[in-house]
Amino acid sequence: MFTTFTDLARLCRICMRHLRDRDTQCPDPRIIAILQKLLDIDILQQPQGFPTEICNLCHNAVVYFEELRQVARESSQKLIEWQPVDIAVDRVKEEPPYEGLGEKQEEDQQELQEEHEKRADGQQLDLSEKQEDREGDS
């Protein structure tokens, strides 16, 4: 693709488009700092022959993004300041987890089983009584 280091040096460091003489931006210290912080690109510490310039399109995009980032920060700060102090916030009550959950389930199942047995016994008693009544009536 590229045959010499001079070819590489004539590319935009961000998008790798070929730079034209009128299309280059030598990044100012502010842009250098933004590139380091946001894109992890250190223009000043590139290997020998690597691009150290960016095109106008990338320069403008970085500047606009930094402006957008600042606007977003300011908006967040304003929203925090405007938030009423005594605002009612719907929250779900947090309760500590039941440590013996397995034991609780077993207890519940045991209670259900006992209740079921009582009902079954009660139904048996009712049937026995009804049968006795019928036999006594005959």
The answer to whether 26 is annotated as binding is: no
Length in residues, the chain: 138
- Check: CB of residue 18 under 8 Å from CB of residue 11: yes
The answer to whether 12 is annotated as binding is: yes
The answer to whether 58 is annotated as binding is: yes
The answer to whether 15 is annotated as binding is: yes
- Write out the binding residues for Zn(2+): 12, 15, 55, 58
Which residues line the annotated binding site? 12, 15, 55, 58
